[in-house]
Structure 1
Amino acid sequence: MVKTGISYSSLGSPDGTLPAPQEVARHAEQSGLDSLWASDHLATGAPFLESTVALAAAAGSTTRLEVGFGVLQLALRRLSWAAKQIGSLHALAPGRLHLGVGLGGVPADEWQAAGVPVAERARRTDAALRALPSLLTGRTTELPDLPGASVTLAPAVPVPPVWIGGGSPAALRRAATLGDGWLPAAITPEGVAEGLATLAELSGAAGRPVPRVTVTVFAALDGHLGGLSQDALVDVLHGQFGFPRELADAVAVSGPPELIAERIAAYAAAGAEHVVVCPIGGAWELQIELLGKARGLIA
């Protein structure tokens, strides 16, 4: 059965307040959801909790719920510290961590504040992904972002599933050669099937298994209860996220649990094993409860 998760980072209120990740995680677990995911940014201009802190709080307040980075911007951090944070999360929630990794957006303030040239983000990400398994499993590892330096981290932990975010050809190559899975967003079920076909070719050429797929989708789960209509949801995705209207209409869904379940099932049929929903608008408690109902409708 396809797993269903919720994006914590999209649950902010119009007044700029954020619900506590502990409360959101407990409610998600009680509602039957499988996972909670957090986005990773330094400065977006909006209230935003640091991703490892949010996920630690979520993991520590639940017993079953999986937690995931959706996605971690490895290039913004010193790799040694990022590995320590990832390893600590894995130790706190054994077998429940998903490591989504991506290049992230390109707001100049964010990269300048981190002291990282935007032009280096792809190279730094690839180098970090190559070194990360050695760091997490407790081997002495040379640090690609600090030439001449090495470190041995403890406790050693298994490497969590690594999901590569993005839909570009470079992201697909990264997923096929350096990841365990692919984590696209704003993509149709048909796009998932096409991406999987490309991944099969790329991973086969590299002698690696075909990556698994987790998809991030946008939804107004309370659209039938006076929340955002489909047209209003498209307006939000176009105005706030910059999606072309045609794309926004194709990848977003507003409606009751039955319609949400139908869309999740379509992604599963295309090859996704996990669907993460980013609720847009509405009270977060209700959004989670409605998503839990949708999950219960999926065969």
Structure 2
Amino acid sequence: MTIKVGVLLPTSTPDPRRPVLGDIRGAARAAEVGGLESLWATDHLVASAPMLDSTVVLATAAAVTERIRVGFGVMLLALRPVAWAAKQVSSLQFVSGDRMLLGVGTGNPAHGDIGWRAAGVSYQDRGRLTDESLRVLPDLIAGRTAALPDGLEVAIAPGATVPPILVAGDGMRAMERAAQFGDGWVSIGLAVEDVAARLAVLGELAEKYERPRPAVTVVAPVFGDDAAKLAAYGEAGVERVILPPTEAGWERDVERAAEVQAAV
């Protein structure tokens, strides 16, 4: 499998000592010119460092590009009423020309629980709330009538093509959530040597739900500057890697990602 390469846009970092806020339009244009597959925006309400709103970032990236895919990396679905999340996604699908990739997760513990508290959402219940939302999200995005968790039936107009849903998280519950609801599973820092074992687990879980095995995306793959080792991720069955921001700055990060994409 030829691996796809994406980059995180310069919108944030979980490290408050190293804030990352860069030129979104410039980074998006450079990534498309460089032949990358996808652009990704992180998501939170109150994070441990400055972070831009993901929907605004992705709308901006989509507006200045034509081909490259744009994705939530990842949307904290439980922070929002699910109907509102569906409206955001369907609108982004429309303005981007169906280029969305919808990563979904329950949050990086590095950010703590203050964002959840600010949104009036129980941090402890975020997994359950995410599951409840994922059950109805595809129908809502598509414009079909769906029953919300409280029983209210609602339809979002206009509907849109449901983007691939990629569920993030390295724990067993996250992998099961990916198998139950997702088209893909997102891991952070997964070593290439561990891919086969994770694929086997995903296959077993997908069989339980009578669904296809989710495709695998790895954020921050462990490869140094060795493009051959990155290519090994594809050979092991990984669909996509997403390279994170570094201290080199977004210009060099995008340039490096383009070099890697060309090499693999």
Counterpart of 1:236? none
> Distance in 1 between the 2:10 and 2:22 partners?
10
Counterpart of 2:238? 272
**Alpha-carbon deviation of 1:15?**
7.4
Counterpart of 2:107? 104
**Alpha-carbon deviation of 1:266?**
1.7
Partner AA of 1:277 in structure 2: L
> Distance in 2 between the 1:17 and 1:213 partners?
26
Contact 1:142 1:150 in 2 (8 A): yes
> Distance in 2 between the 1:212 and 1:154 partners?
30
Contact 1:90 1:96 in 2 (8 A): yes
Contact 2:10 2:20 in 1 (8 A): no
Counterpart of 1:282? 248
Per the normalisation by structure 1, the TM-score is: 0.82
The answer to whether the aligner puts 1:142 opposite 2:147 as a matched pair is yes
Question: Which one has a bigger Cα radius of gyration?
Answer: 1
Q: Percent identity?
A: 43
Comparing 274-283 with 6-15, greater Cα deviation is found at 6-15
Per the normalisation by structure 2, the TM-score is: 0.92
The answer to whether the aligner puts 1:70 opposite 2:73 as a matched pair is yes
> Distance in 1 between the 2:193 and 2:60 partners?
36
Q: Secondary structure at the match of 2:244?
A: strand
The change in CA–CA distance for 1:122 and 1:188 in structure 2 (over 3 A counts) is same
> Distance in 2 between the 1:294 and 1:93 partners?
26
The counterpart of 2:61, out of the listed 58, 61, 65, is 58
Counterpart of 1:151? 154
**Alpha-carbon deviation of 1:134?**
1.2
The answer to whether the aligner puts 1:44 opposite 2:47 as a matched pair is yes
The change in CA–CA distance for 1:282 and 1:93 in structure 2 (over 3 A counts) is same
Answer 1 or 2: higher relative contact order, Cα 8 Å, separation at least 6: 2
> Distance in 1 between the 2:38 and 2:62 partners?
10
Counterpart of 1:4? 5
Q: Secondary structure at the match of 2:124?
A: helix
Structure 2: runs of 5 or more not aligned: none
The change in CA–CA distance for 1:104 and 1:265 in structure 2 (over 3 A counts) is same
Contact 2:11 2:21 in 1 (8 A): no
**Alpha-carbon deviation of 1:20?**
2.5
Q: How many residues align?
A: 259
The counterpart of 2:193, out of the listed 190, 196, 200, is 190
**Alpha-carbon deviation of 1:215?**
1.0
1:252-274 deviation line (CA, Å, top 9, x unaligned): x444xxx1x22321211111111
The counterpart of 1:79, out of the listed 66, 79, 82, is 82
Contact 2:135 2:181 in 1 (8 A): yes
> Distance in 2 between the 1:190 and 1:100 partners?
24
The change in CA–CA distance for 1:77 and 1:278 in structure 2 (over 3 A counts) is same
**Alpha-carbon deviation of 1:189?**
1.1
1:105-144 pair list within 5 angstroms: 105-106=108-109, 107-144=112-149
Contact 2:94 2:160 in 1 (8 A): yes
Counterpart of 1:174? 177
Structure 1: runs of 5 or more not aligned: 219-250
What RMSD in Å do the two structures reach over aligned CA positions? 1.8
More helix per residue: 1
**Alpha-carbon deviation of 1:180?**
0.7
Contact 2:219 2:241 in 1 (8 A): yes
> Distance in 1 between the 2:257 and 2:105 partners?
26
1:41-86 deviation line (CA, Å, top 9, x unaligned): 1111312111111111001110001011111100111111111000
Contact 2:11 2:22 in 1 (8 A): no
Partner AA of 1:265 in structure 2: A
1:159-215 deviation line (CA, Å, top 9, x unaligned): 110001011110111111111111111111122221111111111122111111111
